[in-house]
Amino acid sequence: MRSGDRVALGSFYGDIIASKGRSTWVRTGDNAVIIVPNSEFVEKQVTNWTANDWKMRAQVPVGVSYGSDPTMIRKILLQIATLTRTY
């Protein structure tokens, strides 16, 4: 694993921001940094979402009221999607 990889380990996921001799720093979506002993990456199951390709897919549930204009909702969601971080 390398800096920038998106990983899931146990009950959290985030981006690797630093890998040191004994630990790896992972920044979560809430901007918290979790310092993980490197042994955890060997002893536990780790999902690396970006190991093969930087492109990844995420599911984001969106709720709208029945009377909403679908064209407007689509436009708003596309605007939000273009604001997200890309690699």
Q: Tens-digit pLDDT profile for the chain (87 aa)? A: 788 899 998 888 899 999 999 999 999 988 999 999 999 988 999 988 888 777 666 777 889 999 999 999 999 988 888 876 554
**pTM passes above 0.85:** no
CA 2 from centroid of its chain's CA atoms: 14
* Region at 42 (left for phi over 0; alpha for psi -120 to 50; beta for the rest): alpha
Residue given tokens 């310092």 in the structure block: 35
CB 58 within 8 A of CB 46: no
